[in-house]
Structure 1
């Protein structure tokens, strides 16, 4: 069927009108197509965002920390990029809509509006009032106030610098003419000019936010305050030394636990003409998985190399269960004839799963895929009983986990017998079978966790920080870093703001009795009230 075109008008005015109408229809069609294209782009981006979010949640739920760390960072970076792109497309679409009349929305549809959380209630409010007209703009009549509409926007001003003058009044006795004055206040640094909040800002910036001192000095200079790097370095060394009693107390608390996690990570250390590799170790005590009453804590220490003698020296006096990977340096700690008593090894199922996971992801091997599936079933049970008492965890493991572990052991031995000993899958199986008593120890003790993820999480900040500060300046710098990481990470484990904690402790520590040092530990610390803080 052919469409017969309409006859062209013979009148010039009618022809002009037809041309203008067709031009308007074409422009409207192009605008509608552009809107549809932009809408499709937004939907495509939203779909991609949701896919990434689902992948991130799956990785968070089923993946171990090592598998999550690199992939999760990539997903989060891609997610941020997509959200920025969606915002840019929305802004461009809103700008185009403002330039032309808004089309009518179909019935039953409402434009998508982002859900907004209310701004924090504790923040002070500054009212900016836009007065309404005093007379009616339409008829000029008198008006009466009906109320007000309030919209809030979040704002931030740069850091506020000020000088505190400590004024000590002097008096003279009219009788004996003796002169007296108020006692000098304590300062975080003797004869120092830095207040506790400034010192806390520098310390948390260096060890909590991983900002080297030269970057902090440049930031302060842009705010109009010249603080040399050498000055900041002097503050850091003095503060780290004054906080050492707290660090020692946290380490003693960690060693007093029944079960600990241990791990280490390399740290480049500056040497003559090059860098050498030192080590930062962490020992974590966290009894929350089995509803323990003692507070969690993470103690760090530094060593110039990876020899196990350093861990042995730090753990003098500790007896109990230690969860760690199969690092050979820990071998001497597990020997029966240890002078301070036995340390029982509990292996990490995350490390065992990691070998199979890599093979399943890279080679799609059926044995590796099945091993990951069986181990994930154990992880699923552990997630359900996390936070229960040790007795409850032990009962659930006896009923549900032990049959799965026994079946896994038989299946691994059967698969190992069919494989070449040199294959990657056989090596992953051999890693578990050689340490099977350590892997199954969690079935007989409800306090043992399935993984060593607590220690790996404690080292995650150091891995991120290495990208910023590149290397430690010396062995002493590594020891200072370990001491400050101990305070900052322990504060985080106890849901304490590290910066506020350091500021308050530095203000109180010079006059605090040494015998009551435990009052300043993160789990005993109480945030000061606003009135006392202002005073």
Structure 2
């Protein structure tokens, strides 16, 4: 029976050479794999950056078209909002893929990392406070050990930081005193509170109102965030404070209302607002009246008042403007027609057409005419015998 022949040489030097060759080939294979992985990461980063750029250009195009053809479209606002959300996700994915490409390229010597074009970041606002943190300088020269060092300058790197929201409870103490002569008890009066029983401070109320009406954050979402920060407050409790704060601010609203309707010129408009109803969403209306005389050289501070209604009945603007007369710039809504009657009391309202609304019709006519011309050019000329 013949003995099996070994595929490896018996000589030690030959074995060392064979092992070195195998290690070299393994290293080359690892380098090729790393290069392929780096190129793949670069391709992913390029695709993500390209998609984000396309979304950014689409958003810019939509905004420019909206500016050119007028903000007619409350419907385009939703489209722009969707573009914004999509762009946020794409930008985040592009940044993540770019970092992955840098990490993959660092493992190779032949593939350079993909560099995404980024917009230039604006400097931080000057009004933000600066906290200076100085890194300790060496006491001696790291190269020669000498101690004669002279400062040449400094490099400053700015990092934006935020102080998280903090909560506190203010205890207002009113001490009681008894007079030993007349035995009467005295105590300082209770401090003023914006809302009854005053458990919510003015800063908290301002934040609650601004987040609800300025940032469109419903109370249940605010309550969830408060609870996550260790301050559990029910939605009904917050709603009570909203109602009390609105009642407390009503005198301010009346002052703004009086200032607005003291103007000789007003701009009136209405916009749709979705309203939750039983099992569905209905469309409500926000009527706004703007007092701004700055384009006419006026010095009065601008103001605007809003009124809400569940429908677009013409009774609403007639009720809003029942005691006002002057020049009203508005669209061609028929609900304003009775306001333009010459014998109206307490005085006539002069209609000023809105150019932003009027020019849309010209663009529509231009589109119709352009479509008609294309259609006529597409027809074949009749054959004359």
Q: TM-score range by the shorter chain?
A: 0.7 to 0.9
Deviations 1:148-185 (A, max 9, x none): 64433223343211112223456677987876554432
SS class of match (2:72): helix
Aligned to 1:503: none
CA distance in 2, matches of 1:203, 1:312: 29
Aligned ranges for residues 507-518 of structure 1 at < 5 Å? none
Aligned to 1:316: 322
Aligned to 1:214: 220
SS class of match (2:221): helix
CA distance in 2, matches of 1:32, 1:237: 59
Cα gap change, 1:311/1:221 in structure 2, threshold over 3 Å: closer, same or farther? same
Aligned to 2:124: 119
Of the three residues 151, 174, 178, the one matched with 2:157 is 151
Greater shift in the superposed pair: 75-84 or 165-174: 165-174
**Is 1:366 matched with 2:374?**
no
TM-score for both structures, normalised by structure 2: 0.74
**Preserved contact between residue 171 and residue 179 of structure 1 (Cα < 8 Å):** yes
SS class of match (1:65): coil
Deviation of 1:80 (Å): 2.6
Larger radius of gyration: 2
Aligned to 1:518: none
CA distance in 1, matches of 2:116, 2:85: 28
Say what the alpha-carbon RMSD is for the aligned residues: 4.0
SS class of match (2:171): coil
Aligned to 2:84: 76
**Preserved contact between residue 286 and residue 296 of structure 1 (Cα < 8 Å):** yes
**Is 1:350 matched with 2:353?**
no
**Preserved contact between residue 287 and residue 294 of structure 1 (Cα < 8 Å):** yes
Of the three residues 197, 203, 210, the one matched with 2:203 is 197
Deviation of 1:346 (Å): 2.0
Which structure is higher in helix share?
A: 1
Deviations 1:434-464 (A, max 9, x none): xxxxxxxxxxxxxxxxxxxxxxxxxxxxxxx
CA distance in 2, matches of 1:62, 1:270: 33
Deviation of 1:72 (Å): 2.9
CA distance in 1, matches of 2:262, 2:53: 51
Cα gap change, 1:254/1:15 in structure 2, threshold over 3 Å: closer, same or farther? same
CA distance in 2, matches of 1:39, 1:176: 86
Aligned to 1:331: 337
CA distance in 1, matches of 2:359, 2:41: 49
Aligned to 2:242: 236
CA distance in 2, matches of 1:22, 1:338: 92
The unaligned stretches of length 5 or more in structure 1 are 1-10, 371-535
Deviations 1:1-51 (A, max 9, x none): xxxxxxxxxx96896698468647745763674476357436634652563
Cα gap change, 1:51/1:209 in structure 2, threshold over 3 Å: closer, same or farther? closer
CA distance in 2, matches of 1:113, 1:307: 50
- What is the aligned length? 353
TM-score for both structures, normalised by structure 1: 0.55
Aligned to 1:254: 260
Of the three residues 80, 93, 106, the one matched with 2:101 is 93
Deviations 1:113-145 (A, max 9, x none): 763333334334455565456666667665858
**Preserved contact between residue 357 and residue 368 of structure 1 (Cα < 8 Å):** no
Aligned ranges for residues 35-184 of structure 1 at < 5 Å? 37=43, 40-41=46-47, 44-45=50-51, 47-48=53-54, 51-52=57-58, 54-56=60-62, 58-67=64-73, 68-101=76-109, 115-126=120-131, 131=136, 144=149, 146=151, 149-168=155-174, 181-184=187-190
